[in-house]
């Protein structure tokens, strides 16, 4: 998903953010991949002025985590050692500098337990609003890691679950992408509810690319596009089966 649409996932992430701001306690928003969490987080950051960062392979150790926070808040980092970087974070996130912008951490599940524990310790000391967002599946692999993550998550104030796309989500995305025709909308609802919002957006972007974005997207274009993608045959079969069911029920 690259465009912002007010889907159920976006509303859930927004509610989690508002709770974090009010509670000044870590809040967690989790769901399956492809539901629009990252788009929602970037939109919230742009609207509210919150700091946004994404945990990647090069930021999941303790020192890179502190560097990531410096970058997220636009603070120049003169220190090279982990201890000094941590002290700097305490200074610019602490109360002595006045109200601190909330922090949005995307793909939090990529953190190892020691790094996440360090971030939560920093939040406890400084009291800034913290929203952790990511996939339901955690990447910590060992039994010890899983036990440590369970202990860490017990310290989080509230957990918000992001559900599967709804019919209304798919229709709103279809409207933003110039889908036309009741049969075309029914097709994208079936596709979106059984995949993800990311997959639905990619499908509609591919449909639009064929005509350089000129004209509307009708059912025939959706079916043609599905025939040429790797999972298209399964999706087409699903669309036709659901279409037959709807006609019989009518």
Tokens encoding 35: 């539901």
Q: What letter does residue 101 receive in the DSSP assignment? A: P
Cβ count within 10 A of residue 237: 11
Q: What average pLDDT score do residues 171-192 get?
A: 92
Task: Tell me the torsion sign for CA atoms 58, 29, 206, 6.
Answer: negative
- Quote the distance between the C-alpha of residue 236 and its chain's center: 28
3-state secondary structure at position 97: helix
3-state secondary structure at position 103: strand
pLDDT at res. 59? 78
Tokens encoding 204: 């509609």
Domains of the chain: 8-162 (3.40.50.300), 167-239 (1.10.8)
pTM of the predicted model, to two decimals? 0.82
Residue 110 CB-density burial (10 A; 0-12 exposed, 13-18 middle, 19+ buried): buried
Q: Give pLDDT tens digits for 101-129.
A: 999 999 998 888 889 989 999 998 898 99
pLDDT at res. 217? 92
């Amino acid at each position: 998903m690259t465009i912002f649409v007010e889907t159920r996932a976006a509303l859930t992430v927004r509610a989690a953010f508002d709770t974090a701001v009010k509670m000044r306690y870590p809040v967690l928003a989790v769901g399956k991949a492809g539901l629009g969490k990252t788009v929602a987080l970037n939109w919230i950051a742009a609207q509210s002025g919150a700091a946004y960062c994404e945990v990647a392979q090069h930021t999941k150790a303790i020192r890179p985590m502190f560097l990531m926070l410096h970058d997220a808040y636009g603070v120049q980092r003169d220190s090279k050692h982990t201890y000094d970087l941590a002290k700097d974070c305490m200074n610019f996130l602490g109360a002595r500098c006045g109200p601190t912008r909330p922090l949005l951490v995307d793909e939090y599940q990529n953190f190892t337990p020691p790094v996440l524990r360090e971030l939560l310790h920093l939040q406890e000391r400084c009291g800034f609003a913290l929203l952790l967002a990511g996939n339901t599946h955690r990447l910590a692999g060992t039994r010890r890691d899983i036990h440590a993550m369970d202990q860490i998550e017990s310290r989080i104030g509230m957990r918000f679950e992001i559900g599967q796309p709804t019919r209304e989500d798919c229709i709103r995305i279809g409207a933003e992408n110039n889908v036309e025709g009741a049969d075309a909308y029914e097709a994208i609802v079936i596709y979106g509810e059984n995949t993800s919002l990311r997959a639905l957006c990619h499908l509609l972007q591919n449909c639009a690319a064929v005509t350089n974005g000129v004209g509307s997207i009708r059912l025939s274009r959706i079916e043609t596009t599905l025939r040429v993608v790797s999972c298209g045959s399964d999706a087409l079969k699903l669309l036709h089966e659901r279409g037959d069911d709807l006609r019989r029920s009518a």
